[in-house]
């Protein structure tokens, strides 16, 4: 990165620091002091102009300030068991689904907004159970500061109305939630696990430092995980984090041979999680990681393994104990794509991504941004493991393992929003019926986040997080990629695109 460009990056970073919490989980005091120096050096007029330019950038979506009373007429609805029923008239009021009733014959309803749902299906908004709100569509060697509002807009654009973040520090996530709730930031409903538990010097610090060099990266990655070894360290981390309902645990080595959590640390995490009522969600990458996760035992798996075959015993145990798996096939396909200079860049990425990210992906396509060194050696396993991981997911689907839909986006070559649509297609290819994929991405995903949540289904009184799609998505999953309208908490989302 050019030194000249540094102040601008620092500044956009600082806007996030000041306004909603920055993204990389480090103490930002040093960066803020640097930004203040820059502000003094360039003068406040230039500084203000810069802010104005950033603020005037055309937004990807626009969301109504307040929910309007809305009537969606003559529309079929997707139920939480995957049937398409109706048609009905559906009323939205005060951000909630007020009523699902017989189709009326055109009597004046007095509703502010009437949407003709003829030929369309109304379904719950999509839920992504593995995201990183403060990450970005990364290409090795091309560092940008994460832009939280861009990610949030991307999810809404793609019809994703709820996300579960698997790593952002709790205080930052709560600041973002408050801004969304107050209407100062457009975004989906955001939930999170808090910072993950990892080995000192292990993933994710090791992976990010292998992908990007420089002092900024060293600062930004210093405190991304609770790096624990002893019981005391685990206890202190739980006390500092407080209860989020989840404990995210990292068992993997990226790149190869970096430190990994000890058995002792895993045992203590399990004990503390149980004591605080938290469910353990474990990031796994290889069959031996699954073995360690099951021994803990874990409550869910984040990812299917990227290489190697799961044993029949492992699959049987996942099925019999109803341990949900969030395969995120898309992140491994994306990683393999970047490693082989074939990143995922189709119309949906082009609609969603800012120009700088498209330029990065195109650079990767033309071989100008190759994966290098230790990271390339690690990614080689992801490239060669393709058949194995798809076979694993097919076997899990067949065995009845509960499958959830998550994308791990944005990430290496991976775009927020677009990637969840790819993952739904992946799961259909792995043997789930379109109806099963849709139920997993809405009802099952929402139950995983909170068994008592009032979203994820079309129920009177529940949150009006809704998508209107052309045709019947249970017959043809492509319909879910063709969004006619999106509502988040009853507020209509206008999808502008780039
Ligand atoms: Zn992740």
Tens of each residue's pLDDT in the chain, 498 residues = 233 333 344 434 444 433 333 333 333 455 556 667 767 777 777 766 765 665 556 789 999 999 999 999 999 999 999 999 999 999 999 999 999 999 987 666 678 899 999 999 999 999 999 999 999 999 988 888 899 999 999 999 999 999 999 999 999 999 999 999 999 999 999 999 999 999 999 999 988 888 888 888 888 888 899 999 999 999 999 999 998 999 999 999 999 999 999 999 999 999 999 999 999 999 999 999 999 999 999 999 999 999 999 999 999 999 999 999 999 999 999 999 999 999 999 999 999 999 999 999 999 999 999 999 999 999 999 999 999 999 999 999 999 999 999 999 999 999 999 999 999 999 999 999 999 999 999 999 999 999 999 999 999 999 999 999 999 999 999 999 999 999 999 999 999 988
Nearest Cα to 151, choosing from 425, 357, 8, 441?
357
Q: What is the dihedral sign for C-alpha 215, 221, 226, 227?
A: negative
Q: How far is the CA of 196 from the centre of ligand 1 (A)?
A: 10
From ligand 1's centre to the CA of 407, what distance in Å? 8
Question: What's the pLDDT score for residue 213?
Answer: 83
Task: Using CA atoms of 133, 200, 203, 255 in order, give the dihedral in degrees to the nearest 10.
Answer: 160
The residues, any chain, with a CB within 8 Å of residue 69's CB and separated by 6 or more, are 91, 92, 93, 111, 112, 113
CA of 176 to the centre of ligand 1 (A): 19
Kindly provide the b/e burial profile for residues 276-312, where b requires at least 16 CB atoms within 10 angstroms of the residue's own CB. Answer: eebbbbbbbbbbebbebbbebebbbbbbbbbbbbbee
Distance 366 CA to ligand 1 centre (A): 27
Rounded to the nearest angstrom, the distance between the alpha carbon of 265 and the centre of ligand 1 is 20
Residue that the structure tokens 């457009």 belong to: 186
- How far, in whole angstroms, is CA 396 from its chain's centroid? 22
Distance 107 CA to ligand 1 centre (A): 50
Q: What is the pLDDT of residue 251?
A: 96
Ligand 1 centroid from CA 15, angstroms: 24
Judged by DSSP in three states, 289 sits in helix
Structure tokens at 188: 């989906």
Give the Å distance between the CA of 431 and the centre of ligand 1. Answer: 24
Dmax (CA) for the chain in angstroms is 69
Q: Could you tell me the pTM of the whole model?
A: 0.90
Ligand 1 centroid, distance to 103 Cα (angstroms)? 44
- The alpha carbon of 183 and the centre of ligand 1 are apart by a number of angstroms equal to 27
Q: Ligand 1 centre from 166 Cα, in Å?
A: 6
The span from the CA of 399 to the CA of 394, in Å, is: 9
Task: For residue 296, report the distance from its CA to the centre of ligand 1, in Å.
Answer: 20
Report the separation in Å between the CA atom of 114 and the middle of ligand 1, taken as the mean of its atom positions. Answer: 40
- Tell me how far the alpha carbon of residue 118 lies from the centroid of ligand 1, in angstroms: 39
Q: Which residues contact 484 (CB under 8 A, 6 or more apart)?
A: 120, 468, 469, 470
In b/e form, how buried is each residue of 402-430, taking b as 16+ CB within 10 angstroms? bbbbbbbbbbbbbbbbbbbbbbbbbbeeb
Report residues near ion ligand 1: CB below 5 Å: 166, 408
How far apart (Å, rounded) are the C-alpha atoms in residues 174 and 182?
A: 12
Rounded Cα–Cα distance for residues 349 and 453 (Å): 30
Q: How far is the CA of 130 from the centre of ligand 1 (A)?
A: 6
DSSP state of 1: -
**CA 288 / ligand 1 centre spacing (Å):** 19
- Cβ–Cβ < 8 Å for 184, 152: no
In angstroms, the CA 195 to CA 198 distance is 9
Among 346, 417, 344, residue whose Cα is nearest residue 159: 417
């Amino acid at each position: 990165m050019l030194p000249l460009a540094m102040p601008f990056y620092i500044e956009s970073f600082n806007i996030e620091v000041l306004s909603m919490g920055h993204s990389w989980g480090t103490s930002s005091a040093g960066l803020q002091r640097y930004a203040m120096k820059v502000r003094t050096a360039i003068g406040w007029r230039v500084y203000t102009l810069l802010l104005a330019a950033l603020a005037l950038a055309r937004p990807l979506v626009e969301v109504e300030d307040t929910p309007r009373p809305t009537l969606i007429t003559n529309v079929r609805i997707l139920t939480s068991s995957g049937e398409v029923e109706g048609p009905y008239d559906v009323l939205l009021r005060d951000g909630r689904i007020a009523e699902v009733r017989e189709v009326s014959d055109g009597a004046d309803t007095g509703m502010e907004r009437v949407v003709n749902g003829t030929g369309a299906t109304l379904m719950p908004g999509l839920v992504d159970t593995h995201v990183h709100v403060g990450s970005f569509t990364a290409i090795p060697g091309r560092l940008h500061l994460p832009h939280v509002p861009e990610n949030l807009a991307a999810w809404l654009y793609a019809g994703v109305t709820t996300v579960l973040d698997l790593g952002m520090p709790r205080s930052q996530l709560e600041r973002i939630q408050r801004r969304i709730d107050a209407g100062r930031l457009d975004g989906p409903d955001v939930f999170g696990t808090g910072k993950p538990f990892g080995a000192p010097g292990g993933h994710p610090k090791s992976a990010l430092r292998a992908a990007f060099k420089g002092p900024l990266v060293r600062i930004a990655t210093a405190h991304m995980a609770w790096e624990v070894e002893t019981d005391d360290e685990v206890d202190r981390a739980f006390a500092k984090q407080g209860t989020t309902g989840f404990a995210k645990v990292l068992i993997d080595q990226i790149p190869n041979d970096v430190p990994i959590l000890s058995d002792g640390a895993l045992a203590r995490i399990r004990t503390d999680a149980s004591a605080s009522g938290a469910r353990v969600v474990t990031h796994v990458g290889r069959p031996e990681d699954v073995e360690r996760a099951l021994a803990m035992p874990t409550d869910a798996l984040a990812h299917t393994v990227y290489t190697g075959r799961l044993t029949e015993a492992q699959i049987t145990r996942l099925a019999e104990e109803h341990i949900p798996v969030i395969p995120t096939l898309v992140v491994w396909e994306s990683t393999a794509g970047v490693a082989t200079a074939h990143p995922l860049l189709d119309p949906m990425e082009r609609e969603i991504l800012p120009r700088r990210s498209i330029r990065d992906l195109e650079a990767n396509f033309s071989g100008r941004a190759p994966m290098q060194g230790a990271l390339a050696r690690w990614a080689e396993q992801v490239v060669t493991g393709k058949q194995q991981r798809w076979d694993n997911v097919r076997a899990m689907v067949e065995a009845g393992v509960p499958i959830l839909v998550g994308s791990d986006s944005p990430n290496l070559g991976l775009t927020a929003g677009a990637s969840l649509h790819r993952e739904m297609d992946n799961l259909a290819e792995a043997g789930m019926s379109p109806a099963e994929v849709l139920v997993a991405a809405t009802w099952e995903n929402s139950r995983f986040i909170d068994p008592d949540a009032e979203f994820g289904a079309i129920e009177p009184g529940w949150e009006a997080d809704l998508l209107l799609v052309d045709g019947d998505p249970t017959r043809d999953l492509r319909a879910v990629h063709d969004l006619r309208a999106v509502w988040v908490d009853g507020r209509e989302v206008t999808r502008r695109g780039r």
